[in-house]
């Protein structure tokens, strides 16, 4: 008797996992992650760090008070995090609508 997909799912297994087909899928996904996503994130982080450092230097050379300088540096450094949070919120909201 062949187990049904429902029983396999309850056991935490799928047909793919039982047949060993997911083994290659997992490693191909890992390979794509390592070869594409990680280098892109490194480059984007490097560019962001460079821009934020230049902006922070420009703020330091400006005629602002010390408190304003710190505030502007926080804005420059936090912009990518606020953008990522807004994007995550948008995506999660769209997923909730699909359900």
For 59-70, letters b (16+ CB in 10 Å) and e give beeeeeeeeebe
Q: Is pTM beyond 0.85 here?
A: no
pLDDT in tens, the chain (99 residues): 454 555 545 555 555 555 555 555 666 777 777 778 778 888 887 887 777 777 767 766 766 666 666 777 777 777 778 888 888 888 888 877 876
Tell me which residue range forms the domain holding 92: 5-98
Report the distance separating Cα 63 and Cα 5, nearest Å: 68
Residue 49's Cβ-side half-sphere holds a number of Cα atoms within 13 Å equal to: 6
> 18 near 8, Cβ under 8 Å?
yes
Q: How many domains does the chain have?
A: 1
Tokens read off for 99 = 């359900």
């Amino acid at each position: 008797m062949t187990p049904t997909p429902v029983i396999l799912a309850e056991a935490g297994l799928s047909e793919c996992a039982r047949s060993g087909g997911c083994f290659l899928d997992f490693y191909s996904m890992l390979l794509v992650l390592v070869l594409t996503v990680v280098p892109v994130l490194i480059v984007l982080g490097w560019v962001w760090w460079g821009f934020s450092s230049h902006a922070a230097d420009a703020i330091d050379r400006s005629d602002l008070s010390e408190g304003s300088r710190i505030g502007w540096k926080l804005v420059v450094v936090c912009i990518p995090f606020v953008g990522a949070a807004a994007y995550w919120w948008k995506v999660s909201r769209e997923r909730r609508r699909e359900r």
